[in-house]
Structure 1
Amino acid sequence: MDKTITFTQVKSAIGSPQPIRATLVGLGLTKMYKTVTRKDTPELRGMLKKVGHLVKMEV
């Protein structure tokens, strides 16, 4: 069984630099409090680390 990770955007990206906003879109987070579940990969972990101050993660 593949491991998954669930994350929710809890802070707004308004005022954030363009690369941070692009990372959120790449993760599938387009609105506040949207929750997404993805397969846990090193690439996904790196993206979540970059926007960790804007999201809440559940493993």
Structure 2
Amino acid sequence: MTTQEQTTVKVQLVKSPIGTKESHRATVRGLGLRKINSVSELQDTPAVRGMINKISYLVKVL
């Protein structure tokens, strides 16, 4: 069996989700982000890309 290299993407929370829509706050938590400047490394899938796109004004992709 060959092992495939899973590509990952690092996401950093740069703006507070306070005052945003409830679904956007849930998306932030779903990405594993808690506090400002927290970084989460996730697998690069279409679902994760969609979540990042939804809250692009709150996060920075590293």
Q: What TM-score, normalized to structure 1?
A: 0.95
1:25 maps onto 2:29 in alignment: yes
Structure 1 CA distance for aligned equivalents of residues 45 and 20 of structure 2: 25
Structure 2 CA distance for aligned equivalents of residues 47 and 5 of structure 1: 12
Alpha-carbon shift at residue 27 of structure 1 (Å): 0.5
Task: Specify every segment of 5 or more residues in structure 1 that has no aligned partner in the other structure, as ranges.
Answer: none
Larger Rg: 2
**Among 9, 17, 31, which residue is 2:13 paired with?**
9
In the alignment of these two chains, the number of paired residues is: 58
SS in 2 for 1:43: helix
Task: Specify every segment of 5 or more residues in structure 2 that has no aligned partner in the other structure, as ranges.
Answer: none
**Among 41, 45, 48, which residue is 1:44 paired with?**
48
SS in 2 for 1:23: helix
Runs of 4+ in 1 over 4 A off after TM superposition: none
Q: Percent identity?
A: 41
SS in 1 for 2:6: coil
